[in-house]
């Protein structure tokens, strides 16, 4: 594209003056480059100019830096939020595992107590787990996870590591129902361990206490006395802990003493229990011997073959009220 004649270039002018200016500028530039290369005279000039130009660059880059910082802050916040959520979930899971481990440790401790009880007493027992409760004003019963298929029979004694809990009263194919000793319809023959006094401990509507309503006034019964099974009636083997007397007072008539006892078993906390298969020997004559008997001079006369056993209502045993159910009456007919 050709230039018009009226147009003139400020650098490449057609006149001699313009050419001379160009030559002077070129020479000056060469001299400055040589001097700068040899002596570094323009370094200070460039350094001073950078002090002026650098803030301008910073101001020009502020929008971009601000946008980048906001993007990084938002991304970091999101990552921190996600990491916090994961840590919170891990903490909840760790707490759940810790609680589970504590529960398992407690359960193992209870099972160890039951195992120690079995070994120390050398009894034929069966382990069962509590799967349901029926606690009310007139019923204190529990449901166990064993039944007729597990050879459970009505009348079997239920114990835990601390004492007697009750006895089986109803058996289904896979489950069974046990009546606790605190049931209002339950009664258990007991002995005061310190003095040997025999009496009857009844359940109560309170649900956590046993009542001994008919103790003779002359009997030596104190707060803190231990109650154990006496073995009378053939239902509960003798010597098992039943409870501890917490209160003794005279009845309104003044003819008897009435005591309150707390059960020894953990009725409201036990989850695993034992069912006894070795029950106390029932009352009656001994079974006939299948092997050769003793010498004739040591043989028992026929009239004394069946010794007379003391009745439950003997002078050493407290009489049972007519409206209460004894332990032998609770069990179905035919159970030892």
Tens-level pLDDT at each residue, the chain (336 residues): 455 555 555 555 557 787 888 898 899 888 888 877 777 667 777 777 778 888 887 888 888 888 888 887 878 888 888 888 888 888 888 887 777 777 677 767 766 766 666 566 667 788 898 999 887 778 899 999 999 999 999 999 998 888 899 999 999 999 999 999 999 999 999 999 999 999 999 998 776 889 999 899 989 999 999 999 998 888 888 889 999 999 999 888 888 999 999 999 988 888 888 898 854 444 444 444 444 444 444 344 434 333 333 333 333 333 444 344 444 433 333 333
CATH number of residue 132's parent domain = 2.40.10.350
Q: What is the DSSP string of 211-242?
A: EEEEEETTS---TT-EEEE--GGGSSPTT-EE
For CA atoms 283, 284, 288, 289, give the dihedral sign: positive
pLDDT of the residue at 119? 61
Residue 30 lies in a domain: no
Contact criterion met (CB below 8 Å) for 155 and 331:
yes
Residue 153 and residue 264 in one domain: yes
pLDDT of the residue at 272? 85
Q: What total of structural domains would you count in the chain?
A: 2
pLDDT of the residue at 18? 79
Residue 10 lies in a domain: no
Residue 33 structure tokens: 């480059």
Domain finish residue from 122, 157, 179: 122
Residue 151 and residue 249 in one domain: yes
Residue 11 lies in a domain: no
Residue 80 lies in a domain: yes
CB atoms under 10 Å from CB of 165, counted, come to 24
List beta partners, residue 167.
157, 179
Alpha carbon distance 189, 173 (integer Å): 30
pLDDT of the residue at 6? 52
Domain finish residue from 122, 149, 184: 122
CB atoms under 10 Å from CB of 59, counted, come to 9
Question: Which of helix, strand or coil describes residue 110?
Answer: helix
CB atoms under 10 Å from CB of 6, counted, come to 5
Residue 134 and residue 207 in one domain: yes
Rounded to whole angstroms, the maximal C-alpha distance in the chain is 169
pLDDT of the residue at 141? 92
pLDDT of the residue at 312? 36
* Cα→Cα distances 280→178, 277, 299, 329, Å: 19, 10, 25, 16
DSSP state of 317: B
Domain with 221 in it? 125-282+314-330
Residue 136 and residue 266 in one domain: yes
Residue 238 and residue 260 in one domain: yes
């Amino acid at each position: 594209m050709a230039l018009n004649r009226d147009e003139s270039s400020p650098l490449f002018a057609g006149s001699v003056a313009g050419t001379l200016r160009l030559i002077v500028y070129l020479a000056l530039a060469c001299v400055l480059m040589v001097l700068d290369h040899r002596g570094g005279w323009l370094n200070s000039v460039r350094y001073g100019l950078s002090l002026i130009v650098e803030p301008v660059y910073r101001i020009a880059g502020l929008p971009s830096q601000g946008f980048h910082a906001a993007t990084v802050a938002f991304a970091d916040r999101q990552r921190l939020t996600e990491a916090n959520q994961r840590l919170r979930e891990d903490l909840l899971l760790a707490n759940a595992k810790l609680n589970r481990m504590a529960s398992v440790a407690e359960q193992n401790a209870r099972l160890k107590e039951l195992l120690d009880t079995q070994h120390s007493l050398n009894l034929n027992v069966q382990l069962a787990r509590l799967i349901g409760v029926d606690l009310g004003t007139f019923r204190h019963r529990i449901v166990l996870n064993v039944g007729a298929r597990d050879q459970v029979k009505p009348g079997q004694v239920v114990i835990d590591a601390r004492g007697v809990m009750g006895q089986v009263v109803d058996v289904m194919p896979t489950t069974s129902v046990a009546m606790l000793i605190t049931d209002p319809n339950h009664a258990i023959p007991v002995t005061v361990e310190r003095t040997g006094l025999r009496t009857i401990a009844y359940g109560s509507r309170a649900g956590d206490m046993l009542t001994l309503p008919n103790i003779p006034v002359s009997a030596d019964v104190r707060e803190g006395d231990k109650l154990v099974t006496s073995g009378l009636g053939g239902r509960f083997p003798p010597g098992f802990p039943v409870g501890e007397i917490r209160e003794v007072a005279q009845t309104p008539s003044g003819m008897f003493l009435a005591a309150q006892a707390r059960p020894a078993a953990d009725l409201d906390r036990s989850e695993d229990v034992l069912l006894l298969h070795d029950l106390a020997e029932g009352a009656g004559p001994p079974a006939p011997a299948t092997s050769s008997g003793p010498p004739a001079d040591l043989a028992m006369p026929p009239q004394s073959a069946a010794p007379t056993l003391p009745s439950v209502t003997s002078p050493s045993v407290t009489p049972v009220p007519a409206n209460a159910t004894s332990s032998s009456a609770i069990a179905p007919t035919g159970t030892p």
